[in-house]
Chains A and B, each alone.
Chain A
Amino acid sequence: MGHYAAWDIEVARALITRLSSLDGAVMPILHALQDEFGYVDRAAVPLIADALNLSRAEVQGTISFYHDFRDEPAGRRVIKLCRAEACQAVGCENLVDHLRTRHGLAVDATTADGDLTIETVYCLGNCALGPAALVDGELVGRLDAQRLSALCEGRAVETAQIIERVPA
């Protein structure tokens, strides 16, 4: 993650061709494009529509329905912060406040220098060890303000810090 190729219409065309024979190929194609380029360029829409014999509106409609698909590049690093109920119960909204007050960072936005994107997600399946985040595809549990700061500043988070002893 984090190292995406620049948009290239020929690469896109090859990806689309390779996947277009799948049953229900649209989602796999969109994922493949986003994995390659970090977003789904608008120029891909007519290519997909042609390959699958769909209207451009149908393809655009699918892209816009899903939270995951972006139409412009994300930051070099992506933190997906869980803000669902189990993480609310252990203070994830305090972490959102911390991002704003301490780092001037907004959730669901990318920093101006293109370094960092922070997104809201609803549940990462780590609800017993929240607050949770998915940081460039790796799950982090028992997040707190210090560790979140480290993640924002691109410092390594020591795993020793991640472990908190909970008496059995």
Chain B
Amino acid sequence: MSDKAKPVRIYVPIDAAALSVGAEAVATAIRRAVEQRGRPVEIIRNGSRGMLWLEPLVEVETSAGRVAYGPVSPADVAGLFEAGFLEGGAHPLGHGPTEELDWLKRQQRLTFARVGLTDPLSVADYRAHGGFKGLEQALAMAPADVVERVRASGLRGRGGAGFPTGIKWKTVLDAVAEQKYIVCNADEGDSGTFADRMLMEGDPFTLIEGMVIAGIAVGATKGFIYLRSEYPHAHRALNRAIARAEHAGLLGASVLGSGRAFQLEVRLGAGAYICGEETSLLESLEGKRAIVRAKPPLPALQGLFGKPTVVNNVLSLASVPWIMVHGAKAYADCGMGRSRGTMPVQLGGNIRRGGLVELAFGISLRTLIEDFGGGTRSGRPLKAVQIGGPLGAYLPDSLLDTPMDYEALAGVQSMLGHAGMVVFDDTADMARQAKFAFAFCAKESCGKCTPCRIGAVRGVETVDRIIAGVERDKNLAVLADLNRLMTDASLCAMGGLTPMPVMSAIRHFPEDFHRPAMAVAAE
């Protein structure tokens, strides 16, 4: 076959973020253009490489590797063909070989190794890129050794709390019960986070494989992915991937012919932030109001339907296949202190180059936000970065040299959470952000305990008075008192951490709480 007859592979992402800026129309335009030209072409809908500011990012496979063009609009397609983009020709939207892009080259992609590279729903592609190897490895080991490998890797829960995954699994392994469950927390409710979504859309088999390994390791035969309803694209991707995984023997009555069973189902949430909290999530899966449960008992011992249950975040589970293949040490060798391995960081908000960066722990926030992110999108000075979702602190520029590390961030009265970093420029009003933190808590509180349910409402009122200039010093004292109460007396981190964004705003941006009085907003 001559080279001309071989179909050229063109990659156009099907990730929801890429679609949100027109990837579907671009794929259609390319399809039309190739029909006219009669050149055999194969269009593959891949995940996103994570350079979201370049989406839709179209890649063409050439003899010199994949070549990137972006952001491509349908109107650019004719010009791209004229410039010979099927051979990687030069064009103003061209960026050269994708793998050579500084932004990608500087990352350490372990969990996201395949995202953007493969066709997310192709089992063959998954296998060709190392898929199934982790599970094969796990099936050849004793369950306790699998658990030990995860423990030794130093993997900590990526959903926010940072609890060691291996220790959680050991608790479930040691529990005696006729039924155990693996529950994947795919609620990803934090503003500024989208790594779970990108992984579920871009490489769902990795999550499925991680869940099967977890099941084999602790003796669970049934898994649920609890997915937030705000992610319809991920929902479609997961359901298709599960059907194909069943077909390929990755799921079912005998996983890869091992005689071990593992079934998997996706369940949708219904727009409640608190369902990200693991016990609330379990209540929801059981069909109830998602009121937080008191711990103990731990879900590891009495979880879903009262049975021993592993509840892990998407990224925690999706990191496991890599650890199985490459060993605990290779994973633990990345990172600093007690933060081992890599973290997929999400850069969002008012940022020039937003997207996903996976790197070993220890890198500075400044490198992430300035080098990778390119500073603010508006071009105005950066004012604050909120890290760790709506319960995370607002940090000023002067703290950006802090390394990304669970303990180092705690040291500056902040937290890593799910590693969403949201940038604000100097037009942000931190008193208003503090008020929002309370309003969000008031709206999303499960209502079980008074400090959170009532405290958040009082918080909104108090910040309103401060903004209006009513007895400022007294009201700031009331606020400090309220925050102490919520921190100390809330049952879960919703009420317990809402003071974090509030106090950080007051601590680092006091001037915003002492502006000339304005009328209280009539909201």
Listed in ascending order, the chain A residues whose CB lies under 8 Å from chain B are: 23-28, 30-31, 52, 58, 61-62, 65-69, 80, 84-90, 121-130, 132, 134, 137-142, 159-160, 162-163, 165-168
* Contact bitstring B106-123, A, C-beta under 8 A = 1, else 0: 000000000000000000
Check A130/B230 contact, CB under 8 A, given A65-B289, A165-B71: no
Q: Are B268 and A27 in contact (CB under 8 A)?
A: yes
Bound-state Cα–Cα, A166 to B21, Å: 13
> Which residues does chain B contribute within 8 Å of A124, judged by CB atoms?
230-231
Which residues in chain B, 413-444, are within 8 Å of chain A measured between CB atoms? 420, 422-425, 428, 433, 436, 440, 444
* Contact bitstring B148-182, A, C-beta under 8 A = 1, else 0: 00000000000000000000000000000000000
Bound-state Cα–Cα, A25 to B351, Å: 42
Chain A min CB distance to B272 (Å): 5
Bound-state Cα–Cα, A26 to B350, Å: 40
Q: Are A163 and B71 in contact (CB under 8 A)?
A: yes
**A-B pairs with beta carbons under 8 Å apart, 22 shown:** A27-B267, A27-B269, A28-B268, A68-B269, A86-B348, A86-B422, A89-B425, A122-B390, A123-B191, A123-B193, A123-B230, A126-B16, A128-B347, A128-B348, A129-B55, A139-B17, A142-B20, A159-B25, A160-B73, A162-B20, A165-B71, A166-B377
Chain A: CB-nearest residue to B232 = A137
Q: Are A23 and B192 in contact (CB under 8 A)?
A: no
Bound-state Cα–Cα, A65 to B352, Å: 38
> Which residues does chain A contribute within 8 Å of B233, judged by CB atoms?
139
Q: Are B272 and A163 in contact (CB under 8 A)?
A: no
Chain B: CB-nearest residue to A61 = B289
> Which residues does chain A contribute within 8 Å of B433, judged by CB atoms?
85, 88
Interface residue B355 (Cβ < 8 Å from any Cβ of A): yes
Chain A: CB-nearest residue to B267 = A27
> Which residues does chain A contribute within 8 Å of B290, judged by CB atoms?
65-66
Chain B min CB distance to A66 (Å): 4
Which residues in chain B, 55-69, are within 8 Å of chain A measured between CB atoms? 55-56
> Which residues does chain B contribute within 8 Å of A84, judged by CB atoms?
191-192, 390
Majority secondary structure, B binding face = mixed
> Which residues does chain A contribute within 8 Å of B459, judged by CB atoms?
none
Bound-state Cα–Cα, A94 to B74, Å: 29
Bound-state Cα–Cα, A88 to B434, Å: 13
> Which residues does chain A contribute within 8 Å of B436, judged by CB atoms?
85, 88
Of A67, A128, A140, A160, which is within 8 A of B194 by CB? A128
Chain B: CB-nearest residue to A67 = B271
> Which residues does chain A contribute within 8 Å of B72, judged by CB atoms?
163
Which residues in chain B, 450-476, are within 8 Å of chain A measured between CB atoms? none
> Which residues does chain A contribute within 8 Å of B20, judged by CB atoms?
126, 129, 132, 139-142, 162
Extra A-B contacts (4), CB below 8 Å, given A69-B270, A123-B190:
A26-B287, A85-B349, A128-B17, A139-B17
Majority secondary structure, A binding face = loop
Bound-state Cα–Cα, A26 to B178, Å: 24
Q: Are B284 and A27 in contact (CB under 8 A)?
A: yes
Interface residue B285 (Cβ < 8 Å from any Cβ of A): yes
Which residues in chain B, 188-221, are within 8 Å of chain A measured between CB atoms? 188-194, 196-197
Of A26, A87, A89, A168, which is within 8 A of B288 by CB? A26
Bound-state Cα–Cα, A142 to B422, Å: 16
Bound-state Cα–Cα, A14 to B74, Å: 45
Q: Are B354 and A129 in contact (CB under 8 A)?
A: yes
> Which residues does chain A contribute within 8 Å of B56, judged by CB atoms?
163
Interface residue B54 (Cβ < 8 Å from any Cβ of A): yes
Interface residue B327 (Cβ < 8 Å from any Cβ of A): no
Q: Are B355 and A125 in contact (CB under 8 A)?
A: no
Of A25, A80, A127, A166, which is within 8 A of B352 by CB? A166
> Which residues does chain A contribute within 8 Å of B386, judged by CB atoms?
85
Bound-state Cα–Cα, A122 to B53, Å: 21
Chain B: CB-nearest residue to A66 = B270
Bound-state Cα–Cα, A115 to B22, Å: 25
Interface residue B395 (Cβ < 8 Å from any Cβ of A): no
Q: Are A89 and B16 in contact (CB under 8 A)?
A: no
Bound-state Cα–Cα, A38 to B17, Å: 26
Chain B min CB distance to A61 (Å): 5
Interface residue B273 (Cβ < 8 Å from any Cβ of A): yes
